[in-house]
Amino acid sequence: MATILKPDICVIGAGSGGLSVAAAAATFGVSVVLIEKGAMGGDCLNYGCVPSKAMIAAGRRAHQMRNADPFGIAGVEPEIDFRKVNAHVQSVIASIAPNDSVERFTALGVRVIQEEARFKDRRTVIAGDAEIRARRFVVSTGSSPLVPPIPGLDEVDYLTNETIFDRKRRAGHLVVIGGGPIGMELAQAHRRLGCEVTVVEASSALGKDDPELAAIVLDRLREEGIAIRDKTKVVRVERRGKTIVRVHVETESGPETIDGTHLLVAVGRAANVEALDLEKAGIDFDRKGIKVSDKLRTTNRRVYAIGDVARGLQFTHVANYHAGLVIRALLFRLPAREDRTLIPWTTFTDPELAHVGLNEADAMKQYKGEIRVLRWPYAENDRAQAERETTGFIKLVTDRRGRLLGATIVGANAGEMINMWSLAVSKKLGMRDIAGYVAPYPTTSEIGKRAAMAYFSDAARRPSVRRLIGFLRLFG
């Protein structure tokens, strides 16, 4: 006989967004049921952000050892024990896992059900032997690696971000299908850890980013020995012997083959919607995910969808942003609408590539060309010189009155620096605001302030401004 549960909120999916909703609601004394069929913490903790950044950190240490000569320290080729690299990655996951554990959420007062969830009707979800009839439902089931229909792929062993972090032996030659952020981050990390790496991309690597800044990242990756094959379509793959995977590609100059020892598929993410029986709940969806309004409500007004499963930007911080909006709506009946122009993102290559707001091309279209583009290079920053991290620049896009529309940074610590610009975009700050704040010296954040001050350089050359200054000097 089914157990009938009638909580205020039922959350389906214990990834970043779902956990945030459950924790916040429970903190305010609201009854919550949380359903998760897999690992608590979802993709970010177990297969995505956390393990990838741990591996990137290991690769960075190896790279620094090889390239210490400019600091007067002899560079050495590091001895890399891939088993210990894997242990490092797993220990980072283990150190964070208690924050997302069943025990922690049970202690908060959340009823955790470790089963697969599916809708029975518009008001009911089934999970194991429980039947949940909640006032509101929040679907936060995330996404999974998209596996394209490449002939032969199902006949070879291939890796995705869900399996690559289990490896304890170094790949001889890693062939990466997909030149987006995930593919490029893992390509560089593996190259620095001693693997030969080839990236195959059907269009342009890092094609969703500003091409002017993305080119700097791609140049660095090529300098480090990564083969990046743009405009190269994979037509089929096959196993050759026991250790070789042959990738057949079509290029602008004709067909070619690429032989590797391991294959990583990193062509994007697919929303996890299949097992939910969304049709029974009257929820519209397609292969890109659940259709939601700007209030994150589905076509069933009892049900919200957040994070990767809601059609839109697929980042952990987006899921957390969505969670905050839903909590405002569910608990406090406050108006809460998604604004995607506020969402920053960072590709954690070296150099990093970070962005928020409108890029130059979109701003030109939206403002009919009445924009200003401001740049300032890392090479003109004292801290960057001291750290020998002079590759890169910041690019600011403003309207004709100097209000910030967007910012893109390529260079060291760009992911940290973009935080301030995210705040500036969200608060609609202008160049006068940015130029007026005091930055500690020497820090790379001064790069952005110098770019903002460049906005006023034209004013200094105007005859009218100079006449005004001359007039004011008459008064002593």
Domain count, the chain: 3
Give domain status of residue 71, yes or no: yes
Query: pLDDT-based confidence at 471, cuts 50/70/90?
Result: low
469 annotated binding-site participant: no
User: What pLDDT score was predicted for residue 465?
Assistant: 59
Q: 65: annotated binding-site residue?
A: no
Among residues 245, 268, 291, which one ends one of the domains? Answer: 268
Does some domain include residue 463? no
Residues 124 and 11 grouped into a single domain = yes
Using an 8 Å Cβ cutoff, are 198 and 227 in contact?
yes
Predicted local confidence at residue 377, as pLDDT: 98
Position 473 in a domain = no
Do residue 130 and residue 97 come from a single domain? yes
Query: Which amino acid, one-letter code, is at 18?
Result: G
**What number is the average pLDDT over the span 326-353?**
95
Residues 255 and 301 in one domain: no
Is 141 a known ligand-binding residue?
yes
Answer yes or no: is 274 a known binding residue: no
pLDDT band at 474 (very low <50, low <70, confident <90, very high): confident
Co-location of 332 and 393 in the same domain: no
**Which pLDDT belongs to residue 460?**
65
145 is in an annotated binding site: no
Model confidence at 60: pLDDT above 80: yes
* Residue 17 marked as a ligand binder: no
Average pLDDT, the chain: 95
- The CATH code of the domain that includes 102 is 3.50.50.60
Last residue of one domain, picked from the residues 300, 315, 340: 340
- Neighbouring residues of 227: CB distance < 8 A, sequence distance ≥ 6: 197, 198, 199
Q: Look at residue 1 and tell me whether its pLDDT is greater than 90.
A: no
Q: Is residue 472 part of a domain?
A: no
Using one digit for the tens of pLDDT, what is the confidence trace for 402-415?
999 999 999 999 99
Residue 474 included in any domain = no
Query: Does residue 13 surpass a pLDDT of 90?
Result: yes
Distance (Å, rounded) from C-alpha 240 to C-alpha 461? 68
First to last CA, the chain: 92
Tens digit of each residue's pLDDT (9 = 90 or more) over 199-257: 999 999 999 999 999 999 999 999 999 999 999 999 999 999 889 999 999 999 999 99
Q: Tell me, yes or no, whether 264 and 197 share the same domain.
A: yes
| 276 and 245 housed in the same domain | no
**Residue 390 three-state SS:** coil
For position 466, what pLDDT does the model report?
65
Q: Is 172 annotated as a binding residue?
A: no
Q: Given pLDDT bands bounded at 50, 70 and 90, which one contains residue 475?
A: confident
Domain boundary among 268, 295, 328: 268
Per-residue pLDDT tens digits for 256-267: 999 999 999 999
Q: Are residues 104 and 205 in the same domain?
A: no
Domain, as residue range, for 79:
3-144+270-340
Query: Is 15 annotated as a binding-site member?
Result: no
Flag whether 471 is in a domain: no
Please check if 38 is assigned to a binding site: no
29 is in an annotated binding site: no
100-114, 184-198, 436-450, 451-465: least confident range: 451-465
Looking at the fold, whether 138 and 7 belong to one and the same domain comes out as yes
**Of 146, 141, 179, 170, which is closest to residue 160 (Cα–Cα)?**
146
CA distance 21 to 11: 8
Known binder of ligand: residue 178?
A: yes
User: Looking at the structure, do residues 116 and 43 belong to the same domain, yes or no?
Assistant: yes
Considering the domain architecture, whether residues 171 and 256 belong to the same structural domain is answered as yes
Is 440 part of any known ligand binding site?
no
pLDDT over 90 (residue 196): yes
Task: Indicate the pTM of the whole model.
Answer: 0.94
Flag whether 422 is marked binding.
no
Confirm or deny that 143 is annotated as ligand binding.
yes
| Residue 274 backbone dihedrals phi, psi, to 5 degrees | -60, -45
Are residues 357 and 443 both part of a single domain? yes
172 lies in a domain? yes
Contact predicate 156/237, CB 8 Å: yes
pLDDT at site 470:
72
Q: Is the pLDDT of residue 462 over 80?
A: no
Is 185 annotated as a binding-site member?
yes
- 363 in the same domain as 411: yes
Whether 23 maps to a domain, the answer reads yes
